[in-house]
């Protein structure tokens, strides 16, 4: 979120509402996409995904193995760009890639019961 002008006003108001809710399940993270990715450096979205990797990890994902629930998903990330669905989708895709990489790594690792 741009930290000046209208975006700052809206961002500050949103943050106040999150703080008023005082719900530990709601984690608000602001990311200035325009500044971080200036000059079409979209790979800089990794700054965000690396910064929230512990949050993404804590949300986990649902996993069912042979009819047994192995993992419960604990939440969902909510992404919103104030003026561009493409940027929203780019960040969502980066988060999804992060989760997919974790899933693949977990799938490729031997389970604790494997000799």
pLDDT tens digits, one per residue of 23-79:
999 999 989 888 899 999 999 999 999 999 999 999 999 988 899 999 999 999 999
Q: Which of 91, 74, 93 is nearest to 82 (CA)?
A: 91
Question: 1-23, pLDDT tens digit by residue?
Answer: 656 678 888 889 999 999 999 99
User: How many angstroms from the chain centroid is the CA of residue 11?
Assistant: 17
pTM to 2 decimal places: 0.79
């Amino acid at each position: 979120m741009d930290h000046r002008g209208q975006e700052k006003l809206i961002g500050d108001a949103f943050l106040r509402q999150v703080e008023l809710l005082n719900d530990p399940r709601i984690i608000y993270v602001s990311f200035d996409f325009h500044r971080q990715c200036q000059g079409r450096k979209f790979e800089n979205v990794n700054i965000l995904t690396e910064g929230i990797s512990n949050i993404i990890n804590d949300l986990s994902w649902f996993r069912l193995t042979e009819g047994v629930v192995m993992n419960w998903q604990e939440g969902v990330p909510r992404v919103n760009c104030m003026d561009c669905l493409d940027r929203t989708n780019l960040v969502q895709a980066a988060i999804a890639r992060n989760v997919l990489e974790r899933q693949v790594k977990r799938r490729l690792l031997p389970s604790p019961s494997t000799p």
